[in-house]
Structure 1
Amino acid sequence: MSQSLLVIAPHADDEILGAGAIMARAAQAGARVAVIVATDGAASDPGRDATTLASLRREECRAGLERMLGYVPPLLFLDQPDGGLSSTAIPRPQMAALAAFVADAAPDTILVTDPADGHPDHKAAFGLASRIIGSGTGRVLQVMPVSQRVDRRFDPTGYDATPVGDFAARKRAALACHRSQLDPVAGFSLAPDICDAFTTVEYVRTAYDRLDRSNDAIPAAHFDSLFTQSPDPWRYDSEPYERDRFQRTVAALSGRRYRSALELGCANGALTEQLAPLCDRLLATDASLAALSAARDRIGARANVVLEQRTMPQDMPDARFDLIVASDMLYYLGLDGVVALMAAIERSATPDARVFLASYLGETETIITGEMAAEIAIAHLPGWTRIHAERTDRLRIDVMARV
């Protein structure tokens, strides 16, 4: 059991819904528990005065935590706008308060909402947590599914389930404190069967463990093996998902000519081939020599394309690019790798650059998911904003530009 647990909730009640018993069990074992509530929760009922509702939700949060733990733990309200949480644009006074609070909490484990949750604040809260863990604070980062369970679209694959058990009555009482979220006549309301599900079992998934080497990037040897067996291991030319990814990529980037572009993780060059007509010069890189061999066979002698073996993020080219493409490759780097890559991209991107991120939304062979990788990347590009976003059931695309 963690000696110190920090729970980051996008809204007051998410900490009880996703982690009520986890917090109670940790406190019972002698661990220190602290909670951050990121938004004011004032948008849950458009029919109420926002200031009054925000104040009410803070009171409900304190009451719920006292019911759940027997005391109110150290608690920070960041009071960011409900529905408008950003992992990179929190005002300086609140960021200073956050930094001081986290330093005092000294968490071993940080537990935050899963970015697979549909609510944008839940995604941004994960990005914020990734900034904390990425700065060197804490050992373990875990996620808890909340809004995907509320929306009845939760798939438990990949999660560890923990029965609420003896804490069920306490958790029901804690949830009952959040009256503003239980009134079916008001705005948002938690259905009784949803509350029952949350008081039966809680789920977590580990996204990072500083002491676990499985957080490391997938080595080039893994991809060498794949491309030695087949020049097209993911069926880029026939798989509908891959064709859709390429088409959406070109559509999102069209309408502009790129002077100098960088493609990270080019694999066998299937996407490189489609990016080349958009660019005066395209440097396509991959860590795998076998993949690059397949790419050379595919690309041939295109005058504006250069293929190089480079392992990211440590081998970032010493050059400037107005387009950087990271398509379906970030999750292979792990959290530390994504954080380091974003720092390298920040240094290499021209003032007018576009950073293109595409992320697979299904299960991966890596500790972080595509959704996690995308939010980590966005959280570590301060001073950038998303100028294009789209998603399907299997794919997420984000195009970033400097503010």
Structure 2
Amino acid sequence: MDKKISLVLENGQSFSGYSFGYEAAAAGEVVFNTAMVGYPESLTDPSYAGQILTVTYPLVGNYGVPENKTDANGLSLFYESEKIHVSGLIISEYSHEYSHWNACKSLGDWLKEHKVPGVYGVDTRALTKLIREKGSMKAKIVFNSPNEIGFIDPALENQVAKVSCKKIIHYSRDVARHVCTDKCTDKYPTDTQKTVVLVDCGVKHNIIRCLLQHDVKIIRVPWDYDFNTLEYDGLFVSNGPGDPEHCEITVKHIQTAMKAGKPIMGICMGNQLLAKAGGATTYKLKYGHRSHNQPVQLANSNRCFITSQNHGYAVNTDTLSDEWEVLFTNMNDGWNEGIRHKTQPWFSAQFHPEAASGPTDTAFMFDMFV
């Protein structure tokens, strides 16, 4: 029988369950994701750093975990980064047996390898309803005593600095190409090859894979690196975890880049940092958007796209200057899902056009950028 374990919330409520991961206490912000599949991609998404992830789909673990194979660029073929980033995983029912063509281990064994606790047997429906009513909150996973570990507020720490690369990394087109063929187009021959500076705020590997499909050279730089000293054709600002207020130095570098008038695209955290560089502000959402099924509407049209999302902060569109306009809007709650400059080639998406996992309806945004 698996060991009993508890999830304790900052409001004093607790949820009991059983351990199927690493047996050590952990703390963070508890959030929920409504996607039905994609736990290997979600757990390795750096945007989840500092968070305890609750999966609302009742059965998890039935297709195991794929082998950590990499391509010639060192990019994972099946994961979104080099490791699990969540602080803990909360699910309803855990499948101790798994079956899938590329599975090599169980979800529980994978969590143990990365020293991440997992809890099953939790009433995730009740937990999700609580988060929707009260908002995301601090929580901790404990084994022996509620005082085993203290609460942690990940918003107070610079999560981007924790997950960003520590040195410059170069990428070029290679065998990673086949991974993204159903997600990104392949229209640009080698004689039009451009160089893209990718600001790594916690970039997902599939963003890099999708850019490589367009045959660009990529210079991946740390979040606080002054990329304006480099020669490049376009600037790409990635997704990332936590509060964008910690990235003021990145915002200043983006503002310097704007003076050159080169194309800029942002995703998720990149949307928020581009908005801040344009003079707007951001704010924390009550419980955020984390799912495969968020509908967004393209501005000045009746076109709707189903998108994959993972963010807890949003752009305050009321603070956008007259030089900027809304590009996408969330159809569930009206929150911002992207912006663009009216005269310069600068635009962004709050959602994930590259998905992984999730729908790829908006992969055309990479075409727009290139």
Settle same-fold status: TM greater than 0.5. no
Q: Which has the higher contact order (CA 8 A, sep 6+)?
A: 2
Answer 1 or 2: which has greater strand percent: 2
| TM-score normalised per structure 1 | 0.29
Answer 1 or 2: which has greater helix percent: 1
